[in-house]
C-alpha cells in the first residue's frame, strides 16, 4: 500500500502542473481569439467606410457626366441624309406619318444599308413627334442598343404601293453604336 500511495503522489505531483498549464493555455487562446475578433471587426469597419466613400465618388462622377450629356448634344451630330429615294419609293413629309407607321420601321444609313429599327417614338403632349429610339447592333434581337435621335435627323421614304416605310439617317451603324444608350 505504501508503494501505491507513493506512486499516486508522484503521479499527482507530475500531473498537477500540466493540468494547471492547461487552464492557462485556454485563457491565452480565449484572449488571442478575442483580439483577432476585434481586429477583424475594425478592419471590416474600415473597409465599409472605404467602400462608402468610393461609392459616393463614383456617384458624383456619374452625376457630373450625366449633367454634361444632353439629348441635343448627343443628337446634334446626326443630320438628315441627302439621298435620293430608292426605286419604288418616294420621299414622305414627316408630318404625314403616323406613330403606328413609324414603330418597327427599318432604319438605313446613307448607303442604304439596314442598321436597325425604330423601337420607340417620343412625342410632345400635342402629339408632335420629337425623338425616335433606334435599336442598333446585336444579332437576332440579342444585344441591341437603343439610341435616341431627333425626329428631324431622319428622312422618310414610302413604297409606291404605300405598304412599306423606310427611315434613313446620315450616320453609320458604328457611329450610332458609339452614342450613349437610351434609357427610358
- pLDDT (tens digit, 9 = 90+) per residue, 127-167? 888 999 999 876 666 778 899 999 888 899 998 888 889 99
Least confident of 20-24, 54-58, 74-78: 74-78
Nearest-CA neighbor of 80 among 132, 20, 177, 152? 152
Supply the pLDDT for residue 89: 83
For the record, the C-alpha cell of 104 comes out as 418597327
- pLDDT (tens digit, 9 = 90+) per residue, 89-137? 888 888 888 888 899 999 988 778 898 999 999 988 988 889 999 998 7
- pLDDT (tens digit, 9 = 90+) per residue, 68-84? 444 443 444 444 555 66
**Average pLDDT value for the chain:** 74
User: In b/e form, how buried is each residue of 25-58, taking b as 16+ CB within 10 angstroms?
Assistant: eeeeeeeeeeeeeeeeeeeeeeeeeeeeeeeeee
Relative to beta strand 89-92, strand 145-150 is: unpaired
Q: Is the separation of the CB atoms in 10 and 2 below 8 Å? A: no
Nearest-CA neighbor of 116 among 131, 133, 99, 100? 133
Residue carrying the nine cell digits 437603343: 146
* Direct distance between the N- and C-terminal alpha carbons of the chain, in angstroms, rounded to an integer: 97
Residue 133: Cβ within 10 Å count? 17
Amino acid at each position: 500500500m505504501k508503494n501505491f500511495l507513493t506512486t499516486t503522489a508522484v503521479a499527482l505531483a507530475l500531473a498537477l502542473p500540466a493540468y494547471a498549464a492547461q487552464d492557462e493555455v485556454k485563457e491565452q487562446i480565449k484572449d488571442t481569439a478575442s483580439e483577432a475578433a476585434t481586429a477583424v471587426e475594425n478592419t471590416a469597419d474600415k473597409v465599409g467606410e472605404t467602400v462608402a466613400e468610393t461609392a459616393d465618388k463614383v456617384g458624383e462622377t456619374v452625376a457630373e457626366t450625366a449633367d454634361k450629356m444632353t439629348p441635343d448634344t448627343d443628337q446634334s451630330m446626326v443630320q438628315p441624309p441627302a439621298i435620293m429615294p430608292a426605286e419604288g419609293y418616294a420621299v414622305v413629309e414627316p408630318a404625314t406619318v403616323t406613330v403606328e407607321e413609324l414603330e418597327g420601321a427599318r432604319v438605313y444609313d446613307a448607303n442604304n444599308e439596314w442598321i436597325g429599327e425604330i423601337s420607340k417614338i417620343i412625342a410632345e403632349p400635342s402629339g408632335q413627334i420629337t425623338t425616335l429610339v433606334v435599336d442598333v447592333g446585336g444579332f437576332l434581337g440579342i444585344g441591341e442598343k437603343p439610341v435616341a435621335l431627333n425626329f428631324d435627323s431622319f428622312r422618310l421614304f414610302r413604297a409606291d404601293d404605300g405598304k412599306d416605310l423606310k427611315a434613313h439617317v446620315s450616320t453609320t451603324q458604328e457611329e450610332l453604336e458609339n452614342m450613349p444608350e437610351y434609357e427610358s
